[in-house]
């Protein structure tokens, strides 16, 4: 957009930027600045709260790599995803989780579209509201995906609406989710995790043993917020261990009470909340790396969590005691859409709820006075 109205106040959006040679869209309002890499998965790799200079999005140690300037040493599917993984907030679709055979096509870690360039078009550009629409057509899977990101003036809410369309002339399965990764310096052991609640599943380890650095006892089910530790005792899932504990783990929540969570940093006095439709995203994946995970790709050097609403368990695997896949089935030509809202707020005590519009209730506040941070 060569002749765009380049405002320096209110809502702003521009697709005229590049970062390390990759087309990047910058969106901002009075409170927030977002950077989205269109040429690599439409990844939201930066959400900065301006008043406190807090970036909530975790970055991998290597951050943004231009895939056009690099060739992997092997065709290892899990490695290719991790080699290019930025961190931040990624749309994962139409596959997610472990490597899998998708109707005869080999798919590596998570999905193919996260490593592809997406088209982008600015669909709204006013001082009150800006929106950018990102689109991609998958190669090994028969899906067209649209993603619309919106900011409104004075609002601490980032609205993301995904739409998936099955372009095949036969039914096609999908796993679809929001891969949101939070990390330091926002994430610290002082942070508080609030969540609407639900049951959880800790997967069995491949060899049946307890992996080194496990925070959670494998092959267990339970209910938020208490899990079983590997060698006895309880794990408080509302807390974040220090990096020095060298822990790493993963669990999935199902039977969600509602679709929201919030992470509050009392020292900074700010937090990150997410609200989603739990009838669509029925699971919450919780990936935890507290200085653990020896070897590739983390080498015990990262402190981060992924709190990720998904339609399915990883790669569509079945729930314990069932042989039914958790993948969605899209009929020929079918389109499904869903909206997720990230809410940035000011507070130190935690959160008791986030409603469908992103209105947030702080712990200790009047429940009839749900409010967002507005600067």
Mean pLDDT, the chain, whole residue set: 94
CA atoms of 296 and 323, how far apart (whole Å): 32
For the ranges 90-99, 183-192, 289-298, 365-374, the lowest mean pLDDT is seen at 365-374
Domains observed in the chain: 12-362 (2.70.98.10)
Q: How high is the pLDDT of residue 374?
A: 37
The DSSP H or E segment spanning 235 is strand 234-236
Do 297 and 251 meet the contact criterion of CB atoms below 8 Å apart?
A: no
Conformational region of residue 79, where left means phi above 0, alpha means psi within -120 to 50, and beta covers everything else: alpha
Task: Name the nearest CA neighbour of 36 among 120, 104, 101, 109.
Answer: 120
Which DSSP category does 57 fall into? B
Cβ count near 301 (within 10 Å): 12
Judge whether residue 205 has pLDDT over 90: no
Judge whether residue 76 has pLDDT over 50: yes
Residues constituting the chain: 375
Is the Cα torsion angle 250, 255, 261, 265 positive or negative in sign? Answer: negative
Q: How high is the pLDDT of residue 373?
A: 42
Burial class for 277, CB neighbours closer than 10 Å (0-12, 13-18, 19+): middle
User: Tens digits of per-residue pLDDT, 157-200?
Assistant: 999 999 999 999 999 999 999 999 999 999 999 999 999 999 99
pTM value is 0.95
Do 175 and 143 meet the contact criterion of CB atoms below 8 Å apart?
A: no
Residue 68 binned pLDDT confidence (cut-offs 50, 70, 90): confident
The DSSP H or E segment spanning 78 is helix 77-84
Residue range 306-312: mean pLDDT, rounded = 98
Cβ count near 346 (within 10 Å): 19
CA atoms of 142 and 145, how far apart (whole Å): 10
Which DSSP category does 128 fall into? S
Q: How high is the pLDDT of residue 366?
A: 56
Q: How high is the pLDDT of residue 209?
A: 84
Do 274 and 350 meet the contact criterion of CB atoms below 8 Å apart?
A: no
**Does residue 11 sit in helix, strand or coil?**
coil
The DSSP H or E segment spanning 200 is strand 199-202
User: Tens digits of per-residue pLDDT, 30-60?
Assistant: 999 999 999 999 999 999 999 999 999 999 9
Task: Name the nearest CA neighbour of 93 among 210, 172, 204.
Answer: 172
Cα angle for residues 355, 356, 361 (degrees, 5° grid)? 15
Q: How high is the pLDDT of residue 77?
A: 83
What does each C-alpha distance from 8 to 4, 27, 74, 131, 290 come to in angstroms?
12, 12, 46, 17, 39
Residue 79 φ then ψ, to 5°: -65, -40
For the ranges 160-169, 171-180, 204-213, 308-317, the lowest mean pLDDT is seen at 204-213
CA atoms of 227 and 200, how far apart (whole Å): 9
């Amino acid at each position: 957009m060569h002749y765009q109205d380049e405002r320096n106040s209110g809502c702003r959006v521009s697709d005229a930027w590049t970062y390390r040679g990759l087309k990047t869209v910058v969106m901002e309002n009075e409170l927030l600045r977002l950077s989205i890499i269109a040429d690599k998965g439409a990844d939201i790799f930066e959400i900065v709260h301006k008043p406190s200079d807090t970036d909530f999005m975790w970055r991998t140690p290597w951050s943004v790599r231009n895939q056009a300037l690099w060739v992997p040493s092997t065709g290892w599917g899990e490695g290719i995803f991790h080699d290019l993984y930025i961190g931040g907030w990624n749309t994962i679709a139409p596959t997610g989780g472990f490597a899998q055979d998708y109707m005869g096509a080999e798919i590596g870690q998570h999905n193919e579209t996260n490593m592809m360039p997406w088209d982008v078009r600015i669909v709204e550009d006013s001082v009150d509201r800006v929106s950018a629409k990102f689109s991609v057509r998958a190669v090994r899977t028969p899906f067209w995906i649209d993603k619309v990101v919106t900011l409104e003036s004075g609002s601490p809410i980032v609205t993301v609406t995904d739409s998936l369309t099955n372009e095949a002339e036969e039914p096609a399965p999908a796993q679809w989710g929001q891969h949101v990764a939070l990390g330091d310096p926002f994430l610290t052991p002082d942070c508080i995790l609030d969540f609407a609640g639900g049951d959880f599943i800790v997967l069995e380890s491949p060899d049946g043993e307890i992996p080194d650095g496990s925070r959670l006892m494998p092959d267990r089910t339970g209910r938020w917020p208490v899990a079983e530790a590997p060698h006895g005792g309880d794990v408080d899932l509302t807390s974040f261990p220090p990096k020095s504990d060298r822990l790493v783990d993963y669990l999935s929540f199902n039977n969600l009470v509602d679709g929201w969570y919030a992470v509050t940093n009392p020292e900074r006095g700010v937090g990150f909340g997410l609200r989603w439709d739990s009838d669509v995203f029925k699971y919450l994946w919780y990936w935890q790396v507290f200085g653990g995970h020896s070897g590739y790709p983390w080498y015990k050097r990262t402190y981060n969590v992924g709190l990720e609403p998904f339609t399915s368990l990883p790669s569509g695997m079945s729930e314990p005691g069932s042989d039914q896949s958790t993948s969605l089935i899209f009929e020929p030509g079918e389109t499904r859409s869903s909206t997720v809202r990230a809410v940035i707020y000011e507070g130190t005590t935690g959160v008791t709820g986030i409603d469908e519009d992103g209105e947030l209730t702080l712990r200790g506040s009047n429940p009839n006075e749900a409010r967002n941070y507005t600067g």
